[in-house]
Structure 1
Amino acid sequence: MEVGPGVPGFPHGTPFDEFFEEFMGPRGLISPPVGPATSLGSGFVVDAEQGYVVTNAHVVRDADEIRVTFHDDTTVEAQVVGADDKTDIAVLKVPSEDKALQALAFGDSRTMRVGDWVLAIGNPFGLGGSVTAGIISARARDVGVGPYDDFLQTDAAINRGNSGGPVLSMDGQVVGVSTAIFSPSGGSIGIGFATPAEIAAPVVQQLLDYGHTRRGWIGVKVQSVDADMAASFGLDSARGALVAEVTPGGPAEAAGLKQGDIIVSFGGQAVGAMRDLPRMVAGAQIGAEATVVYWRDGAQYAAQVTLAELEKAEASGLLAERPTAAGLPEGGSAVLADLGVTVADITPTLRARYSLPEGLGGVVVTALDPARPLLATVLAEGDVVVEIARTPVTTAAQAASLVADARQAAPGAPVLLLI
C-alpha cells in the first residue's frame, strides 16, 4: 500500500494491510464521514403576527428540515407555505406565538433609479446578520435564469448565504430580494442581482393566498425580433414578440393568432421586446379578456384573448410537445451555402445526439461556417429551424429550396429563420 512520509508501511497481504484498507482507505487516508447536505440562506419576516418569512426557493428546495435563526440567535423550525421556482421566491411559516417578530414592508421598486442607495442584509457564508451598502447599478437585467427575469443590479456586497435576504431602500422598505451574483471566484465583485419588489410582492401574496402561484396564460411560445426580422416582416422597427408556436386548444388559437404573427401590444401596453410579453401575460387577471395587437402580412390586427391559468395548463398537459408529422423523410442534409448553415432532417440518431423532444419537427442545424463568426451569435449547432421565409419546413432539401427562392425574390435581403 502507498503511504505518506513518516507513516509505517506493511507488506502486502498481511492482516495489517487489510486493516488499513478497511478503516483508512486504499491510500492510507481517513475518509470523512458523509453527512446530510446543508444549505445556507437569508430571509425576512413579512407578517409578524402569522410568522411568515420570505426567502429564495433554491435555499429550501428539497429540504427535509428547515431551521430559521433570528438576530438574537434563537432558532425555530419552519414549514414551507409555498415556493415558486420561476421567480425563485419561497414563503415559510415559523411559530410566532412566543416571540415578538419585526416585519418588513415591500416598497415600490419601480421608483428606484440607477444611482439610488440601497442596503443588503443577509447571512454571508453563514457568519450571521451582515449589512452592506451600495447603489442600484442597473435595472431590468435579464440574466437568463428564469422566464420573468427583470432584476435590479446592485454593487452592494452580496455573497453566498445572502440569497433570500432583503435589499432595502433608504426609507427601510424592501425593494428587492437578493437572488444571484455574477462572480468568477464565488465571492462578491460588486455585481449582485435582486428580484424587484414589483415581481416578488405579488408572488408572495399568491403563495400566502393559494400555496402556489396563479399566472395568466394565452398559449403561445415567442422569440425575439431583431432588425433583420423586422425588415423581412415589413415592421417599422425591431419590437414585439414573434409567435413561434401556438398551443393547440389554448386561448391564442381560439382568438385566431397564428405562428409567424408578431405581438406588438398586450392589454393596451406596447411590447417593446420579447421578454416583456411573458411578464405582462403572467400578471394579467385570469378569466379576463385582453386586447392583443399583432402584425401579420404587412398589416396590423387586433384580437380579444381570454386569459387562462398557466398552472392549470401545465397540469393538464396542454404545454406538452406536439406530435411529429408522420412520413418525414430520413437522413437528408443540405448546405445553405448562402447563409453558411448546414441543416439535416431530424433522424432518430440526430434527435438523440441533440436531445431533441420527440414532438419537435423541422430541420436541425448540424454545422456553421467557421469563416462567419457572427453566425454563432444567433445560431448554434443543435438549433431546430421550423420555418424559412414564413413557410414551415420539414426537410433539408425543402430548406435549401426555400432559401434559394427567397434569395431570388429579394437579392441581398435577409432570410427569416424561425427557430
Structure 2
Amino acid sequence: MNDTTSLASLSSAITNVVARAAPAIVSVHSHRLRATGFVWKKGLVITAEEALADEGEVSIRLPDGSVQQATIAGRDHTTDVALLRVDTGSIPPITLSQQVPALGTLCVVAAAEHGVPTAALGTVSLVGKPWRSLRGGEIDARIELDVRLRHGHQGGLALNATGEAIGMAVLGPRRVLVIPSATIERVASRLETHGRIGRGYLGVGLQPVKLDDGIGAMVMSLDGEGPSAAAGIRQGDIIVAWNDQKLSGVRALLQALGPESIGSVVDVAVRRAGEPARFKVTIGERREA
C-alpha cells in the first residue's frame, strides 16, 4: 500500500467516524452564548456547563435544521456537565464508552456550528489519574487533547479512532480537556433524578492559620443551625484534624465535602483556647442559593 492509499484510507476512516456521530450532535444557544451538545438519552441533551448562560431561554438546533426550546434539567459547575430537556424526536442517543484512551491516540472532536457539523482532528496529549477540578468536581481521568477547539464547540464529542465516544471536549486553562464518559454518566444520572449535585455542608466560615506544628482552620463564622454548631463547635475554634488526619489546608477540607460526604459522621479535632477537643459532626447538605 503506497502513501497516497494510506492517507486516503485514514481520511475515509475519519469521515466515517464523524458521520456516525453527527446525527446526535446539536447546537446549543443560550442568551448570547453558543455551545455544542449531544443527545444522551431520548429527550435529554448534555452540554458544557461553562458554555451555558446563567439565565435566559435555551434553544437547540437539531441536525435537520429545526429549532426546539429546551429547559435546564440540572447543571454542575464543578464537573462542567449540564443536562437539558428537549424534544429530540427520533434522534438516536450516543453510546458513551468508558474506555480511557492511550497516550498518542488519534482523536476527533465532533461538534456543531449553527447546526452544521464540524470536526477537528488531534491526538491525546496527556492521560492521567482521576483528579479534582479547581471547583471541587471529581473527574474520573485526566485526558488532554492537542486539538483546536472554538468556544462554541465546547460540549462536542471526543471520539477515538474506532468512533467510540470517550467523553466531552471542553476548554480548560490553556488546554483542551475531555470530561470522561464515566464522569458524564455519573453526574448526568444524578442531574436527571435530582436536578442538582448535592454538596456537603459544615456550616462554618473558615480562615487558615499557621500553628507551631502545622496548619489549622479557624472558625470565623458559624451557622447556628448548621451541623458544626449542633455538634458543639464554636466560633474561634481552630480545626486541626479531620478523621485523625492532620489538616493540610482549608481548601483540602472543603474539597472533602463532595456529594458522597452528605450524611457521613466525621471526627473533628479542634483547639479551643489552646486546649484540645473533639467533636462528631454529621455532614449536612448545602442549601441552594
TM-score class, shorter: 0.5 to 0.7
SS of equivalent residue, structure 1 residue 208: helix
SS of equivalent residue, structure 1 residue 252: helix
Query: Which residue is equivalent to 1:156?
Result: 146
Deviation at 1:160, TM superposition (A): 1.5
Is 1:254 the counterpart of 2:230? The answer is yes
Q: Give the letter aligned to residue 267 of structure 2.
A: V
Query: Which residue is equivalent to 2:71?
Result: 80
Is 1:265 the counterpart of 2:235? The answer is no
Report which stretch shifted further, 241-250 or 51-60.
241-250
Q: Among 41, 46, 56, which residue is 2:48 paired with?
A: 56
Please list the CA deviations of residues 37-86 of structure 1 after superposition, one character each: whole Å capped at 9, or x if unmatched: 64321122222xx331111234342242402333xx44341422423353
Query: Which residue is equivalent to 1:206?
Result: 190
Q: Among 70, 88, 91, which residue is 2:83 paired with?
A: 91
Would the alpha carbon gap of residues 295 and 305 (structure 1) be closer, same or farther in structure 2, given more than 3 Å must change?
closer
8 Å CA contact 1:215–1:281 kept in 2: the answer is: yes
Q: Give the letter aligned to residue 128 of structure 1.
A: P
Partner Cα distance (2:74, 2:44) in 1: 13
SS of equivalent residue, structure 1 residue 161: helix
Identical amino acids, percent of aligned pairs: 19
Partner Cα distance (2:106, 2:121) in 1: 9
Would the alpha carbon gap of residues 219 and 295 (structure 1) be closer, same or farther in structure 2, given more than 3 Å must change?
same
Partner Cα distance (2:231, 2:101) in 1: 38
The structure number with the bigger radius of gyration is: 1
Would the alpha carbon gap of residues 292 and 40 (structure 1) be closer, same or farther in structure 2, given more than 3 Å must change?
same
Query: Which residue is equivalent to 1:292?
Result: 267
Query: Which residue is equivalent to 2:125?
Result: 135
Would the alpha carbon gap of residues 152 and 96 (structure 1) be closer, same or farther in structure 2, given more than 3 Å must change?
same
Deviation at 1:290, TM superposition (A): 1.8
Report which stretch shifted further, 82-91 or 194-203.
194-203
Would the alpha carbon gap of residues 37 and 44 (structure 1) be closer, same or farther in structure 2, given more than 3 Å must change?
closer
Q: Give the letter aligned to residue 56 of structure 1.
A: A
Query: Which residue is equivalent to 1:326?
Result: none
Select the structure with the greater relative contact order (CA < 8 A; seq sep ≥ 6): 2
8 Å CA contact 2:76–2:197 kept in 1: the answer is: no
Partner Cα distance (2:159, 2:247) in 1: 30
Would the alpha carbon gap of residues 40 and 222 (structure 1) be closer, same or farther in structure 2, given more than 3 Å must change?
same
TM-score w.r.t. the length of structure 2 is 0.65
Partner Cα distance (1:153, 1:224) in 2: 32
Q: Among 62, 65, 69, which residue is 1:69 paired with?
A: 62
Please list the CA deviations of residues 311-333 of structure 1 after superposition, one character each: whole Å capped at 9, or x if unmatched: 25x4xxxxxxxxxxxxxxxxxxx
Deviation at 1:295, TM superposition (A): 4.7
Q: Give the letter aligned to residue 266 of structure 2.
A: T
Partner Cα distance (1:137, 1:224) in 2: 33
Gapped runs of 5+ residues in structure 2? 1-29
Would the alpha carbon gap of residues 156 and 242 (structure 1) be closer, same or farther in structure 2, given more than 3 Å must change?
farther
- RMSD value over aligned CA atoms? 4.0
Deviation at 1:174, TM superposition (A): 3.6
Query: Which residue is equivalent to 1:277?
Result: 253
Partner Cα distance (1:106, 1:300) in 2: 50
Q: Give the letter aligned to residue 80 of structure 1.
A: T
Is 1:234 the counterpart of 2:213? The answer is yes
Partner Cα distance (2:241, 2:264) in 1: 17
Partner Cα distance (2:219, 2:146) in 1: 39
Deviation at 1:125, TM superposition (A): 6.1
Partner Cα distance (2:176, 2:184) in 1: 17
Query: Which residue is equivalent to 1:307?
Result: 283
Partner Cα distance (2:204, 2:43) in 1: 39
| Larger fraction in strand | 2
Deviation at 1:261, TM superposition (A): 2.5
Partner Cα distance (1:222, 1:199) in 2: 30
Please list the CA deviations of residues 334-382 of structure 1 after superposition, one character each: whole Å capped at 9, or x if unmatched: xxxxxxxxxxxxxxxxxxxxxxxxxxxxxxxxxxxxxxxxxxxxxxxxx
8 Å CA contact 1:57–1:83 kept in 2: the answer is: no
